[in-house]
Chains A and B, each alone.
Chain A
Amino acid sequence: MDVKVTDNRDEVFSKSKEALTPEIVAFIEDCTQKQHPNSHLINVLHKVQGHFGYLGKEQLDAVAQLLQVPTAKVTGVATFYHFFRLEPRGRFVINICLGTACYVKGAERVCERLCDELGIHVGETTPDGMFSLEGTRCVGTCGLAPVVLVNDTVFGEVTPDQIPALIESHIKKAQAMEKESVV
């Protein structure tokens, strides 16, 4: 009996490449040339998250195909590490440091105020997609505790009363950016 073998590898590969950016694809191809290509999985996921802001299902599948690692393993790694996100996040990601120094200096109350003002819990995003609130592992600037990060900017010695102004300033920043892009 004839067994019909369908080889759709090319199709899968080109679809996978479409799901990622050319730089990331080039990075993965570079990794596959090296010794122990699978060991670069975490670095690849960092690159993907750096570009897309999170790891979508499509991207995870694409990484699995291009790096020739089972999707189960890619998902396993992506879900194991706290740094990786599987959901899209707000325009401004507010990270509150959960380190000991910050905790001792009152990070909990800053966090409560943030939840209060934004109307969301830690790990959620505001309905307008503007802010996400997250807890982060110690960022190592314990001298400035308590610390809040908005995207990559560090704000030190934050008090609960500074929170409304902090949020307000970022809303204004977003509005200004939008105006600029319209012009």
Chain B
Amino acid sequence: MNNTVLSRYEELAQHAHTQWQQSGRNDKIIIQVGSATCENAAGATEVWREFERNIQASGRDDIILHQVGCTGRCSREPIVGVLMPGRMPVKYQRVTRDSAHQIFSRHIQGGEPVAELTLDQTMPRLKRQVILCEARHCGTRGDEDIFTVFQDEINRAGLDPEENTLIHVGALGFCSIHRKMISTCVMVRPENTVYFVKDRKDVQEIIAQHLVEGQIVDRLRCQEDPISLRFFDLYGDAAFFNRQTRISLRNAGVINPESLYEYIHYNGFRALSLSLSNGDPDWLVERVLESKLRGRGGGGYPTGRKWKDAHRHANDQRYLICNADEGDPGAFMDRSMLESDPYSVIEGMIIGGYAIGATRGFFYVRAEYPLAIKRIEKALAECRKHGLLGQNILGSDFSMDLEVRLGAGAFVCGEETALIHSIEGERGQPRIRPPFPTESGLWGKPTVINNVETFANIAPLLLYGSDWFASVGTEFSGGTKVFALAGKIQHTGLVEVPMGTTLREVVYNIGGGIPGGKQLKAIQTGGPAGGVIPAEYLDMPIDFDTLGRLGSIMGSGGMIVLDEDDCMVDVAKFFMTFCQGESCGKCTPCREGTKRMLEILERITMGKGEMEDLDKLERLASLVKNTSLCGLGRAAPNPILSTLRHFRDEYEAHVKEKRCPARKCKTLIHYEIDPAKCVGCTMCARNCPTNCISGGRKEVHVIDQVECIKCGRCFDVCRFDAVNRK
């Protein structure tokens, strides 16, 4: 029977490959257009239609318009990739209808990339690119730095350095294959050949044969299919991407999220077929334990242990739930994963179901994510059609089905027991644990709840080895974490880095730092349940434990960058407003405590606070933290406690001096016009909504402080910097 599973899978895989071949992908031009909520909001649908029209008008049949998910390069969307056979892929940013037309006529018809529209303005002259991995597993024998060796040899061979570039990337993620020998991973584009280079001799051989002659050096070549090959093939030259390690987001922006065959073509469902043919759920649980995978939803509970707990409790029925109720404001990795690669989450869930013996599983998705819901539904239907879901999956004796249940905008439903109540059709209120859901969960049966990202990690972990997965992260936490980088940062978007990467790497090397020459003040992690990390801890490696020690949490991975213009008391107030509004009202500490804490914060930001308010706030915060019923209440005071811990001086400035150092709290600031700078252009007076600015043309203007509502419009519109915020 085990052979049945494998042969059934091979049949599917064969079919997928045939489809791939038949589509003529290898020798046609491919135009990739992103298609996630964010891409569409940025105008991707318009761009898609424009390309459609252009292709039709040109009458060419050698162009494929390919829909892909989102890569997570949010601030530059919509992103369009143009792949021509034998050429380096070119990506365009912020494409509009007009620029789509330009790209089509100049690049696709004319053959010359439109340099000024490309992502990061990477040189479209590029013929070949050598990418060196600098992950900690990569290294060479001897003391020569492989990068310099490559540089030397390229020069010596007389190659044009503008056409043949050399770059370093954070990690190619190919370590799974070569970990037993000392060598460096090198990828040569556009052929996307991966080599393992040990010394100068190898370098010379690659340059002489591959770069000069265009012949692949078989002796040094990696024969397997490394996990992020496709990703780096497409995005390896963009600075934002090449410092990342993509495991759970491996297919995002690479495959068509609505095509099962494309997913299978990139090794999709292979891990499932291996698990089913192995026939031993305990073996699976052991692998997950070994990989040190910890729950990505925020708690960081070891996934393997959770599975083991559920498996231990004998019962005729067990349930598996995928928590896609991504309620943290500022986190969007789950949405992106479900929209860009729904099959990998489904595969993770079926494997999970097999491991714990669940025959029914649920996706609990936010109703605010309509596109994600549509894509999951479609993916589930495809899986059922191909025998990957339902009765006797892939011909094995394991049966399981998945269904979608919608949330309805309650943050507390991210809590396990509240989520269970919500699926049961009740008000989403939590209950006391124990019993934990792994013992008594949905309808009283053992239930495992894992996050979207956790499930997306399951297939690669099995396919490339649990020891490899463990080696990617830190001692107690394996693998990578996806962060949703947003706020005051150059490059907003999704960043997947190994556990233990420093904040500096994420914020500066990947995120590109703070725009406008401003100073970084703090980084807020973990959403409303998290805390702030001041700029001085930038070199702290990030994982569950280090963030906890700093008074914050990993949470689901939202990372909001705050600069000097952000007031920390105001930030604490923002989160408290959120938690207060989301408190379900079941237990008193959370229901009443959040309200009182919010009142105190409001008092402080209004300039009516007293020093004893700070003590009260601290006492109340620790009370709520210690006595609330569920995780939401227990974590609600975190933003206050962590801002008080790291930014007490800001609180004191509000209370003692009635001053907001960041000039954010409205009641504590006022606007003034500098007579020396004002030229009397009347711009401010014309824009003032309350008409409280007086002064004629070419006269110095004055703001009437009594009438002023401090909307700041004069400050924004003045072109002479004459309006001061004090």
Rounded to whole Å, the gap between the CB of B217 and the closest CB of chain A is: 41
Q: Hey, which chain B residues are within 8 Å of A105, CB to CB?
A: 487-488
Q: If A81-B410, A103-B574 touch, does A137 touch B493 (CB 8 Å cutoff)?
A: no
Alpha-carbon distance between A65 and B407 when the two chains are bound, in angstroms: 23
Docked complex Cα distance between A137 and B413 (Å): 13
In chain A between 26 and 58, which residues have their CB closer than 8 angstroms to a CB of chain B? 36, 38-43, 45-46
Instruction: Determine, out of B160-168, B268-276, B322-330, B626-634, the stretch whose residues face the partner at the interface.
Output: B322-330
Given A43-B405, A76-B427, A101-B329, are A140 and B38 neighbors across the interface (CB < 8 Å)? Answer: yes
In the complex, A163 Cα to B368 Cα: how many Å? 23
B41 A141 Cβ-Cβ under 8 A? yes
Q: For residue B330, which residue of chain A has the nearest CB?
A: A100
Complex CA distance for A101 and B562, rounded to whole angstroms: 10
Contact yes or no, A80 B428, CB < 8 A: yes
Task: Establish whether residues A42 and B408, one from each chain, have CB atoms under 8 Å apart when the complex forms.
Answer: yes
Contacts of B574 on A, CB cut-off 8 Å?
100, 103
Cβ distance B523 to chain A, nearest Cβ, rounded Å: 12
Q: Report if A82-B408 is in contact (Cβ < 8 Å); known contacts: A99-B329, A138-B329, A140-B368.
A: yes
The answer to whether B712 has its CB under 8 Å from any CB of chain A is yes
Q: Give the contact stretch, choosing among B14-22, B341-349, B417-425.
A: B417-425
Report if B435 contacts A (CB, 8 A): no
The count of residues in chain B whose C-beta lies closer than 8 Å to any C-beta of chain A is 60
Instruction: Check if B423 sits within 8 Å of A39, measured CB to CB.
Output: yes
Please determine whether B409 and A100 come into contact, CB atoms closer than 8 angstroms.
Answer: no
A116 located at the interface, meaning its Cβ lies under 8 Å from any Cβ of chain B in the complex? yes
Residues of A within 8 A of B689 (CB): 116
Knowing A136-B368, A138-B332, A142-B74, say if A101 contacts B486 (CB, 8 Å): yes
User: Which of chain B's residues have a CB closer than 8 A to the CB of A103?
Assistant: 329, 574
Chain A, Cβ-Cβ closest to B72: A143
In the bound complex, what is the Cα–Cα distance between A136 and B369 (angstroms)?
A: 12
B-contacting 9-mer, from A11-19, A152-160, A175-183:
A152-160
Q: Does any Cβ of A come within 8 Å of B367's Cβ?
A: yes
The CA-CA distance from A102 to B426 in the complex, in Å, is 31
Q: A100-B560, A138-B331, A140-B335 are in contact. Are A39 and B428 (CB under 8 A)?
A: no
Q: Say whether B74 contacts A141, CB under 8 Å.
A: yes
Name the A residues within 8 Å of B41 (CB-CB). 141, 144, 147, 153-156
- Shortest distance between the CB of B639 and any CB in chain A (Å): 10
CA distance A154 to B524 in the complex (A): 25
**B443 partner residues in chain A, CB cutoff 8 A:** 36
In the assembled complex, how far is the CB of residue B407 from the closest CB belonging to chain A, in whole angstroms? 8
Of residues 541 to 598 in B, which have CB atoms within 8 Å of A's CB atoms? 558, 560, 562, 566, 571, 574-575, 578, 584
Produce 1/0 per residue, A69-96, CB < 8 A to B: 1000100110011111000000000000
Q: A137-B329, A138-B329 are in contact. Are A39 and B487 (CB under 8 A)?
A: no
CB A146 to nearest CB in B, in angstroms, measures 11
**Cβ A142 vs Cβ B408 within 8 A:** no
Q: Cα distance A116–B690 when bound, in Å? A: 11
Contacts A143-B38, A156-B41 known; A104 to B409 CB distance under 8 Å?
no
Known A100-B487, A142-B484, A143-B74: A46·B38 in contact at CB below 8 Å:
no
| Contact across chains for A84 and B408 when beta carbons are under 8 A apart | yes
Q: Which of A41, A46, A139, A141 has the most CB of B within 10 A?
A: A141
Which residues from B are CB-within-8-Å of A147? 41
Instruction: Report if B37 contacts A (CB, 8 A).
Output: yes
**A residues less than 8 Å from B713 (CB atoms):** 160
Provide the residues of chain A in CB contact with B716, threshold 8 Å. 160-161
Scoring B37, B38, B326 by chain A CB atoms within 10 A of each residue's CB, the highest score goes to: B38
Mark each residue of chain B from 469 to 501: 1 if its CB lies under 8 Å from any CB of chain A, else 0. 000000000000000101110001100000000
The 0/1 profile, CB within 8 Å of A marked 1, for residues 388-432 of chain B is 000000000000000001111111000000000011111111000
Q: Which residue of B lies closest to A147 (CB)?
A: B41
CB distance from B601 to the nearest CB of A (A): 15
Across-interface contacts of A153 in B (CB, < 8 A): 41
Instruction: Assess whether B370 is interfacial by the CB under 8 Å rule.
Output: yes
Among A77, A99, A154, A155, contact of B426 (Cβ-Cβ < 8 Å): A77
Q: Which residues from chain B contact A173 at a C-beta distance below 8 Å?
A: none
Q: Is the CB of B327 within 8 A of A144?
A: no
Does B65 touch A at the CB level, under 8 Å? Answer: no
Say yes or no: is A62 at the interface (Cβ < 8 Å to chain B): no
Decide yes or no: A42 and B566 within 8 Å by CB, A140-B37, A140-B332 being known contacts.
no
- A133 on the interface (CB 8 Å rule)? no
CB distance from A173 to the nearest CB of B (A): 17
Contact partners of A82 in chain B: CB under 8 A:
408-410
B408 to chain A, nearest CB (A): 3
Which residues from chain B contact A101 at a C-beta distance below 8 Å? 329-330, 486-487, 492, 560
Residues from chain A with Cβ under 8 Å of B410 in the complex: 80-82
A-B contact count (CB 8 A): 150
B292 to chain A, nearest CB (A): 29
How far, in angstroms, from A43 to B487 measured CA to CA in the complex?
Answer: 34
Residues in B whose Cβ lies below 8 Å from that of A64? none
Q: How far is the CA of A103 from the CA of B558 in the complex (A)?
A: 14
Interface residues of B in 417-470 (CB under 8 A from A): 422-429, 443
Min Cβ gap A73→B in Å is 8
Q: When chains A and B are docked, how far (Å) is the Cα of A22 from the Cα of B528?
A: 42
| B171 within 8 Å of A (CB atoms) | no
Contact between B368 and A137, CB atoms less than 8 A apart = yes
Within the complex, the shortest CB–CB distance from B243 to chain A, in Å, comes to: 18
Chain B CB within 10 Å, residue with most, of A39, A105, A136, A155: A39
- B527 touches A (CB below 8 Å): yes
Q: Is residue A98 within 8 Å, beta carbon to beta carbon, of the partner chain?
A: yes
Nearest B residue to A100 via CB reads B330
Give bound CA distance, A137 to B412, whole Å.
13
Q: Is B75 an interface residue (CB 8 A)?
A: yes
Pair B425/A109 contact, Cβ less than 8 Å: no
Give the distance to chain B from A106, nearest Cβ to Cβ, in Å.
Answer: 10
Is there an interface contact between A142 and B422, defined as CB atoms closer than 8 Å? no
Contact B408 A46 (CB under 8 A): yes
Question: Is B560 a contact of A109 with CB atoms below 8 Å?
Answer: no
CB pair B711 A112 closer than 8 Å: yes
How distant is A155 from chain B, measured CB to nearest CB, in Å?
Answer: 8
Chain A residues with Cβ under 8 A from B258's Cβ?
A: none
Tell whether, in the assembled complex, residue A156 and residue B42 are in contact, meaning their CB atoms are under 8 Å apart.
yes
Interface residue? A60 (CB, 8 A) = no
Give B271 Cβ to nearest chain A Cβ, in Å.
28
Interface check A114, CB cutoff 8 A: no
CA distance A98 to B581 in the complex (A): 12
B336: chain A residues at CB < 8 Å are 140
- Chain B residues lying within 8 Å of A112, measured Cβ to Cβ, are 711
A25 interface residue, CB < 8 Å from B? Answer: no
B367 to chain A, nearest CB (A): 5
Q: Is the CB of A140 within 8 A of B711?
A: no
Fill in one digit per residue for B355-371: 1 if any A CB lies within 8 Å of its CB, else 0: 00000000000011110
Contacts of A42 in B (CB 8 A): 405-408, 422, 425
Distance in angstroms between the alpha carbons of A69 and B492 in the assembled complex: 46
Question: Is the CB of B237 closer than 8 A to any CB of chain A?
Answer: no
Residues of the A chain whose Cβ atoms lie less than 8 Å from the Cβ of B405: 39, 42-43
Most central of A39, A43, A140 by chain B CB within 10 Å: A140
Candidates A76, A84, A98; contact of B578 at CB < 8 Å = A98
Extra contacts besides A36-B443, A144-B74, A154-B40 (8): CB < 8 Å? A36-B424, A42-B407, A84-B408, A100-B575, A104-B562, A143-B74, A144-B41, A156-B42
9 nearest CB pairs, A to B: A143-B74, A81-B408, A154-B41, A99-B329, A140-B332, A83-B409, A101-B486, A82-B409, A41-B425
Q: What are 24 A-B residue pairs whose CB atoms fall within 8 Å in the complex?
A: A36-B424, A39-B405, A42-B405, A42-B408, A46-B367, A73-B426, A77-B425, A77-B427, A81-B407, A84-B408, A99-B329, A99-B330, A100-B486, A100-B528, A104-B562, A137-B409, A138-B329, A140-B336, A140-B368, A141-B74, A141-B332, A142-B331, A143-B77, A153-B41
Interface residues of A (CB under 8 A from B): 36, 38-43, 45-46, 69, 73, 76-77, 80-84, 98-105, 109, 112, 116, 136-145, 147, 152-156, 160-161
